[in-house]
Amino acid sequence: MFVAACSRQTLHGEAGQDVSGANKTIVSLDFCADQFVLKLAERENILALSPDAEAVFSYMRNDARGIAKVRARAEDILLLAPDMVVRTYGGGPNATAFFERAGIKVVQIAYAGDLDTVRQSILDAAEDMDAPERGDALVTEMDARLAALSPLNTGSTILYMTSKGAVAGRGTLIGELLERAGYENFQAAPGWNSLPLERLAYESPNVIAAGFFDTSDMVSDMWTPSRHPVARRQLSGRPVIDLPSAWTACSGWFLLDALEALAVAAPTGSSVQ
């Protein structure tokens, strides 16, 4: 919980002060922000990352080793006296206003619902973190990888299924990945929806893209739709492209790992596990 009485003006000057410079210190408030901090910031300037920075769903988990971890609690962050905090959702809805009042620069990583916004969020974050060259280089690499795509399954239907039973429809970022990889999304309804078990009982996609099964817990996931016999038949009866959670848990450049895996998967008729 944030404490309204805290102020760091004695450490950072008036709230909103410009803290740009190569030696600014940084704290990341959540694991999505961790990815951007680890990719764009100088390692020696990182004071702390989120507790999930080394989790299986953290893309930059190997780079996070050896760096302190801190929970997104106001008291803990203020004790570290950072010049900047970086966040997507960490700290809750009042985090930005609180830390700015305390004189700490806040870099907010934008929510991205499509790849164009992912590109822009990288550029914006890099600019805010005084690392525009790294942002430019990362986006240039993304563009090159997108241009090099050569989908092998053009026209095949695909269903993106998570371990919790959610499926990605059209108009979602995952849906865009499926389409760019050459597939037709089996889930025609827009947005995120529950697994359409009734439809799957009599109609099937050519391919399943399986997300977050590497984080699935057999006990906690016992009652999810993905454990239903109809869903299990889908996973065992056709090609499955496994997409590790670290590729899709956040909106970043690493989504291209998922896109490339989808695009180069063996043509339908052979199993991809």
Q: Could you read off the pLDDT of 17-35 as tens digits, one per residue?
A: 444 445 789 999 999 999 9
| pLDDT for residue 268 | 58
Q: Which of 127-141, 187-201, 231-245 has the lowest mean pLDDT?
A: 231-245
pLDDT on residue 209: 94
Phi and psi torsions of 154, nearest 5°: -55, 125
- pLDDT bin (cut points 50, 70, 90) of residue 238 is confident
List the single range of 15-29, 32-46, 98-112 with lowest mean pLDDT. 15-29
Whether 14 shows a pLDDT value over 80: the answer reads: no
What's the average model confidence in pLDDT over 259-267? Answer: 87
Is the pLDDT confidence value at 71 over 90? yes
pLDDT score, position 13: 38
Among 20-29, 169-178, 201-210, which stretch is predicted with the lowest mean pLDDT? Answer: 20-29
Q: Do domains 9-144 and 157-263 have the same CATH topology?
A: yes
Q: Which amino acid is at 52?
A: D
- More confident position, 8 or 28: 28
pLDDT at 216: 64
pLDDT score recorded for residue 217: 60
- pLDDT band (50, 70, 90) for residue 198: confident
The CATH code belonging to domain 157-263 is: 3.40.50.1980
Greater pLDDT, 235 or 185:
185
Q: Are 106 and 95 contacting, i.e. CB atoms less than 8 angstroms apart?
A: yes
d(CA 74, CA 55): 23
pLDDT band at 219 (very low <50, low <70, confident <90, very high): very low
Q: Is the pLDDT of residue 125 over 80?
A: yes
Confidence of residue 222 (pLDDT cuts 50, 70, 90): low
Tell me how far CA of residue 267 lies from CA of 33, 111, 229, 264, 270, in angstroms: 36, 33, 26, 8, 7
pTM of the predicted structure, to 2 decimals: 0.85
Domain chopping of the chain, boundaries: 9-144, 157-263
CA distances to 146, 154, 195, 196 from 192, rounded to whole Å, are 24, 23, 9, 11
Distance CA 52, CA 190 (A): 31
pLDDT given at position 19: 46
Q: Which CATH number fits domain 9-144: 3.30.110.40, 3.40.50.720, 3.30.465.10, 3.40.50.1980?
A: 3.40.50.1980
Average pLDDT over residues 149-171: 91
* Contacts with 246 (C-beta within 8 Å, 6 or more apart), sequence order: 56, 57, 58, 59, 61, 254
Tokens of 117: 């916004």
CA distance 191 to 174: 10
Percent composition of the chain: helix, strand, coil (DSSP 3-state, to 5): 35, 15, 50
> What's the mean pLDDT in 239-260?
95
Mean pLDDT taken over the chain? 87
Looking at the chain, list the stretches that DSSP marks H as alpha helix, in order from N- to C-terminal side.
9-12, 31-40, 74-80, 95-101, 115-128, 132-147, 173-180, 197-200, 229-236, 245-248, 255-263
What's residue 16's pLDDT?
Answer: 41
